[in-house]
Amino acid sequence: MCGIVGVTGVKGASGVVYKRLSLLEYRGYDSAGIASLDNGKISFCKRRGRVFSLAGDLKNLHGDTAIGHTRWATHGKPSDENAHPHTAGKFSVVHNGIIENYSALKEKFFSGVKFFSETDTEIVARLLNYFYDGDILNTLKKTLPLLQGSYALVVICADFDGIIVARHKNPVIVGYGKNCAYTASDLSALAGLCTEISVLEDGDTAFLTKHGIEFYNSEFERTERSKRENPAQSAELELNGCPHYMLKEIREVPSSIIKTADAYICTRDKIKRYLTGADRIIITGCGTAYNSGLIGKRYIESFARIPVEVETAGEFRYKQPIVTKNTVVIAISQSGETADTVEAARLVKSLGAKVIAVTNSPYSELTRIADAAVPVEAGQEICVAATKSYTGQLSALYLLALTLADKDEKEGAEALKVAADIIARTIEHTDIGTLAEACARSSGVYFIGRDLDFAVATEGSLKLKEISYVPSEGYPAGELKHGTLALIDIKTVSVCIICDGELAKKSENAVEQIISRKGKVAVITNVPETVNRLKGKAEIIEIEDCGKFLSPLLSAVIVQLLAYKTALLLDRDPDKPRNLAKSVTVE
Ligand code: F6R
């Protein structure tokens, strides 16, 4: 959330930052800004709106050093003034995170002074300038300990021919180039620019110049940080003829399943070590990651018969979790940087539980905290709405459940690959257009199902509401009659998922109840008897059978496609839904 890029030692630095910021818009897109440094002179431009609104200003931003920011507002509405960078005297700052005590600091150091913006970030630029005595490290020593909250700060100073980076909780990486250096909030921003990176640790600061990168630890002592390969590939950032990243990423679901299955087999032994002796499992995550945990619970309880609780990370942290050394906490996060999930993992680890991360981000904070990481090999996901990472998470959880049950994961990996083939065929051939039109016209869409189908219904509802803004809820099919049925009328659409033959008749009862109340119903099913029984009464989307436990991967793709098509019909941008951003690194 909030994208940051900085480059030093690069001709036309502001142009490079501009291009790379565009790749980071999924982290926030309500305003953007760039500051450049040219022979000790800082210039900047910042605006409400998308990164492209800065294009005309680049001609005024000279020099070999520049920093940029694309914002997802936390403190202060989206506006030109509140856009980053924030500049005071010799310092210009971009920030990801929240300075929680900014009001108190303002009162203490700048009482009566009128600030330019309403943000929590301006205080950082002001403090740096206030404490500046010609020695930047000294200035940081005085400023950073005062800041409470979280930050990835990227700073330029008129007196320093380079960039200063500081980290407390929010991720930031630095990259090595030939006679130049880079920094960014995400690996993807540096794809194709540099092959080697370092990840700053909590409390680190770094000084980037064209001669190299110097690191300081939280005590402001010189330290080294290891160089790692930058896994981000620039090819992954291309749309390859697809109109949107969301569609491209749905089409990549099959390959993400196959790659995740292969990667699991390679890491299985390490993961098994941490699972041995587990007598209770807690799964935690947010949003889509939480929804994948609902399915993970069913896998683990069915295969291994170990009790599992699933908790949203933001709630779990504050519930005084009860864990023992035999509790395994599975923390699921595409980005590995979601603040609630990372903090929940940190907390339970400190209480003695083992933590297994299920993540698409091998260098993330979550991976660092966890005892072991189950890789989700979805590749870069750019659309704000999670798609291929969700099915990747389900694949990883399926195999992890087999490990817990001492079952053959290789057979499981083969089954996943068969499912991936079916999904690839389905994406090409499923026509969801009529249902999408009904959803786009409706007053609300209810996704229902039982057991695993209910878990997919929950995800279908999240996907639809977040990118089309059509009100939507996911319900267990049996719960409808206990309240929600009151909402059903001719303007509503209900999408019922029936992919478990044993429960089919029960879910069909719910369908009949909706039809009796004149609600429109569509049924996503792989059960031939259901097709026969409901044909003519409900719209039927018949899908192939992937088996009870892998059907959620296929029905999930159908609801993803439905959300995508509905969003297009309503003229929404499916890749950048309003008010949202990917990687929620603030609480
Ligand atoms: C929904 C979506 C979000 C994320 C959630 C957690 O499509 O993408 O609900 O799933 O913000 O993000 P990660 O998985 O990065 O922790």
Atom of ligand 1 nearest to the CA of 286: 6
Is the pLDDT at 82 greater than 80? The verdict is: yes
Is 2 designated active site?
yes
Closest ligand 1 atom to 584 CA: 11
pLDDT, tens digit (0-9, with 9 covering 90-100), for 515-553: 999 999 999 999 999 999 999 999 999 999 999 999 999
Angle formed by the axes of helices 551-569 and 388-404, nearest 10°: 170
Q: Which residues contact 219 (CB under 8 A, 6 or more apart)?
A: none
Active site (annotated) includes residue 582: yes
Q: What per-residue confidence (pLDDT) applies to 404?
A: 96
pLDDT per residue as tens digits for the range 263-290: 999 999 999 999 999 999 999 999 999 9
Q: Provide the sign of the torsion angle of the four alpha carbons 434, 436, 440, 446, taken in this order.
A: positive
For 201-353, where are the E strands, in sequence order?
205-209, 212-216, 222-223, 228-229, 280-285, 308-312, 327-333
Q: Which of 169, 354, 520, 582 is catalytic?
A: 582
- Give residue 18's pLDDT: 97
Tally the C-alpha atoms within 13 A of residue 537's C-alpha that lie toward its C-beta: 19
387-422 pLDDT tens trace: 999 999 999 999 999 999 999 999 999 999 999 999
Question: Could you tell me what percent of the chain has a pLDDT over 70?
Answer: 100
CA angle, residues 528, 533, 538, in degrees to nearest 5: 100
Average pLDDT over residues 468-496: 95
Which pLDDT does position 583 carry in this prediction? 77
pLDDT grade for 97, boundaries at 50, 70 and 90: very high
At 118 the pLDDT is 94
Q: Give me ligand 1 centre to Cα 285, in Å.
A: 8
Nearest-atom index, ligand 1, CA of 389:
14
Burial class (CB in 10 A: 0-12, 13-18, 19+), 24: buried
Confidence class for position 72, pLDDT limits 50, 70, 90:
confident
Does 335 sit in the ligand 1 pocket, CB within 6 Å? yes
pLDDT in tens, 120-173: 999 999 999 999 999 999 999 999 999 999 999 999 999 999 999 999 988 999
Assess contact for 496 and 449: CB atoms under 8 A: yes
DSSP conformational letter for 230: -
Which one-letter DSSP state was computed for residue 480?
G
Q: Which residues pair with 502 in a beta bridge?
A: none
- Distance between Cα 582 and ligand 1 center (Å): 7
Strands (E), 212-326: 212-216, 222-223, 228-229, 280-285, 308-312
CA angle, 384 then 461 then 379, to 5°: 35
Quick one: pLDDT at residue 26? 84
Q: What is the pLDDT of residue 235?
A: 76
Residue 580 CA to ligand 1 centre (angstroms):
10
Band (pLDDT 50/70/90 cuts) for residue 76 is confident
| C-alpha to C-alpha distance for 194 and 203, rounded to whole angstroms | 24
Res. 586: pLDDT tops 80? no
Indicate if ligand 1 lies below 6 Å from the C-beta of 289: yes
* Probe target for ligand 1 pocket from 338, 359, 374, 381, with the most ligand atoms within 8 Å of CB: 338
The helix (run of H) or strand (run of E) holding residue 359 is strand 354-359
pLDDT beyond 80 at 23: yes
pLDDT digits (tens, 9 = 90+) for 324-368: 999 999 999 999 999 999 999 999 999 999 999 999 999 899 999
For residue 240, CA distances in Å to 230, 438, 531, 534 come to: 22, 30, 37, 40
Q: Is the CB of 382 under 6 A from ligand 1?
A: no
Closest to 34 measured CA to CA, from 106, 121, 94:
94
Q: Which residues pair with 215 in a beta bridge?
A: 206, 223
Q: How many CB atoms lie within 10 A of CB 141?
A: 15
pLDDT band, residue 28 (cuts 50/70/90): confident
| pLDDT confidence tier of residue 564, bands split at 50, 70 and 90 | very high
pLDDT digits (tens, 9 = 90+) for 417-440: 999 999 999 999 999 999 999 999
Distance 506 CA to ligand 1 centre (A): 31
Residue 222 has pLDDT above 90, yes or no: yes
Look over the chain and give the mean of its residue pLDDT values, rounded to a whole number. Answer: 95
- Identify the residue whose C-alpha is closest to ligand 1 atom 5: 287
Catalytic residue among 2, 157, 286, 546: 2
Report the percentage of the chain scoring pLDDT > 90.
91
* Cβ of residue 385 lying under 6 Å from some atom of ligand 1: yes
The alpha helices in 405-485, defined as continuous H runs, are 409-429, 433-441, 452-468
Question: What's the pLDDT at 74?
Answer: 80
Question: Does 587 have pLDDT greater than 80?
Answer: no
